[in-house]
Structure 1
Amino acid sequence: MTLPTRTGIAVALLSTASVSLATQAQPMLEEVIVSAQKRDQSAQDVPIALSAFTADAIEQIGSPDFEGLQFFTPGLSVSGASGAFVSPYIRGIGTNQTSVGTDPSIGVYQDGIYLARKSGALSDLLDVQRVEILKGPQGTLFGRNAVGGAISITTARPVDAVEAEVGLGLGNYGAQMARGMLNAPITDNVYVRATLQTRQRDGWQENVINGIDGDNRDRTTGRVKLLWDASETVAVEVGGQWNETDEIARFGESIDAGLPVSELTRDRSDRKAVNGNINVLGDPAGSAEPTLPLFDRSMELYWLSATWDLTPSLTLTSLSSYLEYETSAARDYDGTEFYIGNNLYNTAMNKTLSQEFRLSGTHETLDWFIGASYLQESYDMDFAIGFADFLGLNGGLPFEEDSAVASDTDSYAVYGDATWRFTERWSLTFGARYSYDDKTIGYNTPLHDNGAAGLNGLGLVLASSAQFVNAQGVPDPAAAERSESWSDFSPRVVVDYRVNDDVMLYAGVTRGYKSGGFNTYPTADQTPGPTFLQVVPEATRPVDPETTLNYEAGIKSQFLNDRLLLNASVYAVDYEDLQVQVIENQVVALANAGEASSNGLEFEMKFRLSQYLTLFANGAWMDTEYDRFFRSGVDYSGTPLRFSPDFSGTLGADGAVQFADGSELRGFISIGYKDEHNLDENFAIDSYTVVNARLTYRSASDAWQVALFGTNLGDEDFLVDYTEQTSAFGFTSAIRNEPRMYGAELTYRF
């Protein structure tokens, strides 16, 4: 691995700025408080591999959404076509499926509320107190489907003080941001906190066919929290959050076309995508004029939480929530200017109701909690997969496969966790979760055939409506309904040893569980006939639950009077029935990959050299592979898992100079690197390096600050998502990362 020499230059400059202060008092690193084990603890006291970010750290990183945190979390990668629609992968485990019938592998929680779908999960990081990213199975501590890890977002709570803040920002590509926050007491025991933010930006990716720019920003997020301290022992919080997103996501670009397409410009200075088919189905084939944005979301989240201290050592917690969101999305999967096939348009409605009760207590050498939870989710989606004439060989007569899918899920769980400090230095933690999931799915797929006939101009035979048949020869349209249930017992055992007040060693074994699911796209016939394409309405075909067994050991340590932090962990994970998205005979499908494994080493370092300079570094080595995986007749055993680079790491510096009047100039720089890695079993990308920086001037009174920032300053060009279509059409398409972004922000506090 080779990193740019600019690293040493940046560190040297910051070191020079603070060398005259080296003889001053050496302060400690800031302690980060987390709630990973359902109680407030120092992150250094938690025997779990995790990365935690305070509000200040998130501001310095300079990412308005979750995507930017991947370079500061060892083992984390992020895939996706938009900052509002991303898929996290931890240690090579994640899911890129957006269908009704399956669940994510990484659990996302906001203030303890499970956000079941990525479409409604990772929005802008607005007024956040901290973000915790926990690695390895976390079902016992957090909940369902956290088989690969958990992301816990804690937003700021109302306080008994009058606070207000206004932020304004401008950037390249016409970026504009406006943000406001107000916190105030209403009475002597009722407090409110309200936050509103809007972000707009032009797209940076030009479509050479129709001139529409991709990957713009147009989103507004608001949140209101009301806290009532009903008594000395009872506190009640009620809140709501709203999000409106109306954006065009990044276009897919053809990277390996077997058909004649216009040349794709690779140069970042003139990035143009050949993608003429972002029109939604129903428009004339080849018009290339979208009538709806590619990603449109309306989200509402409401919650009621209450804590009651029954005794000084016993607390009862209740958390009720309701989440509702609607999305509309369209994507052309071929990435060419031709209206070929698998052009997907969908609308979805999701409603999730959840309730959790938890009783927690402490008693001398024992900290424990027990709980029960219920989740009810209804998820309806209408989508269309379009197939149409290209090159004028069929007279411009398209047809499409329309589908309506409805899913209902009822999930129940009981769980508990206890830590016993059986000596002054030794502790034993045991936890377990019993999960029961019941799912029902209904599927209807009427075919809209506009008269498409066979065409042979390219040696292909396009199926007519009569040729859309299932394995028994029954033609579409088809309807199906099916119910399945799954249950699992997932324990964890961890032992930790305190070498002294500053060093902790830990080791443990944890079982992870992700519920089974269903295919919800038309499924390719496993033994297709002589036609060019056969689609089988086996949308109710189930997939088995995904399970993991995670072995882990680590060290958490601080030295030099808490100025140097060194954390490291090693792990070995065995996966059974890993759920992966595959392309089978030109159709997206969900399948179990058999067996897989992931082994690795991760570390984090922070060193506060002086009061005004902190250095940091992190890294992850991963060795992943499918131990047993057959797909479309090909043996992929031995192939690395997706989004699992052999090495990834970041180093950087956070330095400041304080002036005589008390004002401060602060500089932050980070350099993140990822080795080459697979986006798919058949496709790998080269290594890349991303440089981010921020320069902030803060007034002496701390009433205002102005900041200049830049992300991907080297304008590195790489791919973040990939779709294979080679089985029938002979091409693949991929999605690129964001180019260099920069801007300025002004913040004023009242």
Structure 2
Amino acid sequence: MYRKTLLASAVLSALATPSYAQEVQDEQEYIEEITVTAQMREQSVMDVPVTMDVISSEFLERTNIMELDELSRVLPNVQIQEQAVSLPSFNIRGVTDDTSSVSSTPRISVYQDGFDISKKTVSSVSLYDIARVEVLKGPQPTLFGVAAANGAISIHSQLPTDEKEMKVQLGYDTQSGKEAEFMFNSPINDNHSFRIAGLYREMDGIVENNACSDDSYYGNANMTDHLGNSVSCNSEDLQGVSVQAVRGTWKATYEQLEVIARASMEYNDQPGIAFKSGSIAPNGGDTSPYTAAEFSMGSELGIERTLQAYDLTINYDINNMLTLHADAYYKDVEVSEGFDADGSALRIQDAYFDNDATLNGGSVRLVYDSGDKLVGFIGASTSHDDSILPYYVMVDPFVRGTFDAVKAQLEATFDIPLDQNIATDASLEEIEALRAILVGSLFNADGTPISNDAFPDTIIQGPYIFEAELDINSYVAEVSYFVTDNINVTAGIRYIDETRYTKNTYTLDAGTFV
């Protein structure tokens, strides 16, 4: 559903330019010595005894990849879906990590610059000014924690260099999209340098939303938001892109000491998700996911996210064989989302939630490298996740009551469950026939949605408040021994102490009538 045709692009760069022969030589050396940190230490990709893919910055720029899901085009056995920044989906070797609970731990870890961003509302980040992306396939719990039961994705942003350079890139495409990316890098003195990079990108929705039109079921009628306020109808097209991001990095390098500090912010204001019903078609339309939808949630339809992140990394070379690594981070994320949970114009179930979370932690690691056959490390880390999610449901009580009653009657009469997550021996034709009866009960003979003036237009249920606190302390050790130049034996162990606290608060009354 995502299409992009670049019509105009301009790139401005200023940096020290070596000769063509030197460029070719440098490129060959880079290809031969790709340095990765898949095992929590710098090493050549050829020495990593793990199935992994590495995507370089040059490849990202050449293919204009700026979103995680676009990596699926070039990564075998990896599927990433980012229909919304609030709930990305990662799939490695056929196993997915789909989960929306504020207290759950995913089965695929996502890291950025060495820091865990696996939390769903945090893991969708824009790819700009990136050094490389490492994708590790298979269980990685020793290195990346219990969440990496099926793999890990590690994103590394560019670090400041000792050269003064600048880049500005502008783009425009046929889907009414605009984008701008910039980078400025400069040394301060012999020991200090800084780098700042940013991204602005806007793209209109690619799935038409026919709500609020003369041809829609409810026309331009006002809607009720999650607080009971009457809001104007809104028909912004779905599956658009909106991101504004900036990242600043400072680096200090001395003979034995390296310090890296980062601060970043990413803001998203996206239109709604095209989660379209496969049974209830828009007025005069069809149920195809590629054609127009009819979602009329007013201004609440869509996603707004603000993500702030700060981190500090210290590397100290104790001697030629021992290096001490220490880091700390703090992240704050605020997400608000309104979505049409039934995927139709009927208010069977519309939903809205706010998710505020803070994450902080740190780690320390001692790395040993004999320079010959034996390498390894020992370390400890701690992390804390504090999250709260108030959840609201808005329904038309007459439509929803009819839906529930007819559904229960059909299931009892024919002994066929109509929920997709319940196994049944019934044929697809039998299930579709019952669903057609159920959908038909929601419309009058003239094709208009059923209504009853004795019932309110909307009932607000909630808030249902989900709270979670997660504390994880872990201790890890790993050692690798090169028996020969071609045989490497690696062993590792991790101990995890996890404390999880959850609290769910529900409204006991039937809801607020509006």
Distance in 1, Cα, partners of 2:509 & 2:71: 44
The alpha carbon displacement at 1:62 in A equals: 2.6
- 1:234 aligned residue: 257
Report the CA distance shift for 1:84/1:196 in structure 2 as closer, same or farther (over 3 A): farther
**Quick one: percent identity of the two aligned structures?**
26
The alpha carbon displacement at 1:110 in A equals: 0.7
- CA shift digits 1:151-204 (9 cap, x unpaired): 100110011111111110101221111111111111221100001111111112
Distance in 1, Cα, partners of 2:87 & 2:100: 10
Q: 2:273·2:339 contact (CA, 8 Å) conserved in 1?
A: no
- 2:267 aligned residue: 244
Distance in 2, Cα, partners of 1:298 & 1:260: 33
Query: Residue 141 of structure 1: SS of its match in structure 2?
Result: helix
- 1:367 aligned residue: 375
Q: Which has the higher strand share?
A: 1
- CA shift digits 1:348-381 (9 cap, x unpaired): 1111111100000112310101110000110111
Q: 1:84·1:123 contact (CA, 8 Å) conserved in 2?
A: no
Distance in 1, Cα, partners of 2:153 & 2:173: 29
Report the CA distance shift for 1:178/1:451 in structure 2 as closer, same or farther (over 3 A): closer
- 2:363 aligned residue: 356
- CA shift digits 1:509-535 (9 cap, x unpaired): xxxxxxxxxxxxxxxxxxxxxxxxxxx
The alpha carbon displacement at 1:416 in A equals: 1.0
1:154-303 matched pairs, under 5 angstroms = 154-210=156-212, 211-229=235-253, 231-257=254-280, 262-264=284-286, 266=288, 271-276=291-296, 279=297, 289-290=298-299, 292-303=300-311
- 1:400 aligned residue: 461
Distance in 2, Cα, partners of 1:60 & 1:451: 54
1:3-402 matched pairs, under 5 angstroms = 30-31=31-32, 32-82=34-84, 85-210=87-212, 211-229=235-253, 231-257=254-280, 262-264=284-286, 266=288, 271-276=291-296, 279=297, 289-290=298-299, 292-341=300-349, 343-363=350-370, 364-389=372-397, 390=399, 391-393=450-452, 394-402=455-463
The alpha carbon displacement at 1:237 in A equals: 0.9
Report the CA distance shift for 1:383/1:418 in structure 2 as closer, same or farther (over 3 A): same
Query: Residue 318 of structure 2: SS of its match in structure 1?
Result: strand
Distance in 2, Cα, partners of 1:122 & 1:61: 19
Q: 2:480·2:488 contact (CA, 8 Å) conserved in 1?
A: yes
Report the CA distance shift for 1:330/1:451 in structure 2 as closer, same or farther (over 3 A): closer
1:282-681 matched pairs, under 5 angstroms = 289-290=298-299, 292-341=300-349, 343-363=350-370, 364-389=372-397, 390=399, 391-393=450-452, 394-447=455-508, 449=510
Q: 2:301·2:339 contact (CA, 8 Å) conserved in 1?
A: no
Query: Residue 206 of structure 1: SS of its match in structure 2?
Result: coil
Q: 1:247·1:293 contact (CA, 8 Å) conserved in 2?
A: no
- CA shift digits 1:618-677 (9 cap, x unpaired): xxxxxxxxxxxxxxxxxxxxxxxxxxxxxxxxxxxxxxxxxxxxxxxxxxxxxxxxxxxx
> What amino acid does structure 1 have at the position aligned with 2:201?
R
Q: 2:169·2:181 contact (CA, 8 Å) conserved in 1?
A: yes
The alpha carbon displacement at 1:264 in A equals: 1.9
- CA shift digits 1:247-305 (9 cap, x unpaired): 11322111134x9965326495xx311333xx2xxxxxxxxx22x35211111100111
Q: 1:306·1:317 contact (CA, 8 Å) conserved in 2?
A: yes
The alpha carbon displacement at 1:133 in A equals: 0.6
Distance in 2, Cα, partners of 1:309 & 1:108: 28
The alpha carbon displacement at 1:93 in A equals: 1.9
The alpha carbon displacement at 1:452 in A equals: 6.8
Distance in 2, Cα, partners of 1:355 & 1:387: 44
The alpha carbon displacement at 1:344 in A equals: 1.9
RMSD value, Cα: 2.4
Q: 2:97·2:107 contact (CA, 8 Å) conserved in 1?
A: yes
Q: 1:205·1:250 contact (CA, 8 Å) conserved in 2?
A: no
Distance in 1, Cα, partners of 2:283 & 2:385: 43
Distance in 2, Cα, partners of 1:322 & 1:406: 19
Q: 1:81·1:249 contact (CA, 8 Å) conserved in 2?
A: no
Report the CA distance shift for 1:98/1:450 in structure 2 as closer, same or farther (over 3 A): closer
Distance in 2, Cα, partners of 1:366 & 1:407: 42
- Kindly tell me the number of residue pairs found equivalent between the two proteins: 413
- TM-score, with structure 1 as normaliser: 0.53
The alpha carbon displacement at 1:40 in A equals: 2.5
Distance in 1, Cα, partners of 2:143 & 2:71: 22
- 1:574 aligned residue: none
> What amino acid does structure 2 have at the position aligned with 1:264?
D
Distance in 1, Cα, partners of 2:87 & 2:192: 36
The alpha carbon displacement at 1:144 in A equals: 4.0
Query: Residue 253 of structure 1: SS of its match in structure 2?
Result: coil
Of stretches 168-177 and 59-68 in structure 1, the one that deviates more from structure 2 is 59-68
The alpha carbon displacement at 1:428 in A equals: 0.8
Distance in 2, Cα, partners of 1:203 & 1:237: 38
- CA shift digits 1:224-248 (9 cap, x unpaired): 000011x300111111110111111
Which structure has more RCO (C-alpha within 8 Å, separation ≥ 6)? Answer: 1
- TM-score, with structure 2 as normaliser: 0.76
Q: 2:201·2:243 contact (CA, 8 Å) conserved in 1?
A: yes
Distance in 1, Cα, partners of 2:305 & 2:79: 24
- CA shift digits 1:481-505 (9 cap, x unpaired): xxxxxxxxxxxxxxxxxxxxxxxxx
Query: Residue 140 of structure 1: SS of its match in structure 2?
Result: helix
Report the CA distance shift for 1:244/1:426 in structure 2 as closer, same or farther (over 3 A): same
> What amino acid does structure 2 have at the position aligned with 1:233?
Q
Of stretches 135-144 and 118-127 in structure 1, the one that deviates more from structure 2 is 135-144
- CA shift digits 1:567-599 (9 cap, x unpaired): xxxxxxxxxxxxxxxxxxxxxxxxxxxxxxxxx
Distance in 1, Cα, partners of 2:194 & 2:282: 60
Unmatched runs of 5 consecutive residues or more in structure 1: 1-24, 280-288, 454-750
Distance in 1, Cα, partners of 2:308 & 2:460: 35
Distance in 1, Cα, partners of 2:245 & 2:327: 22
Query: Residue 81 of structure 1: SS of its match in structure 2?
Result: coil
> What amino acid does structure 1 have at the position aligned with 2:276?
E
> What amino acid does structure 1 have at the position aligned with 2:243?
R
Distance in 2, Cα, partners of 1:367 & 1:328: 46
> What amino acid does structure 1 have at the position aligned with 2:466?
V
Q: Which has the higher helix share?
A: 2
The alpha carbon displacement at 1:422 in A equals: 2.4
- 2:227 aligned residue: none
Report the CA distance shift for 1:175/1:315 in structure 2 as closer, same or farther (over 3 A): same
Report the CA distance shift for 1:262/1:148 in structure 2 as closer, same or farther (over 3 A): farther
Distance in 2, Cα, partners of 1:147 & 1:267: 32
The alpha carbon displacement at 1:41 in A equals: 2.6
Q: 2:206·2:239 contact (CA, 8 Å) conserved in 1?
A: yes
Q: 2:35·2:42 contact (CA, 8 Å) conserved in 1?
A: yes
- 1:687 aligned residue: none
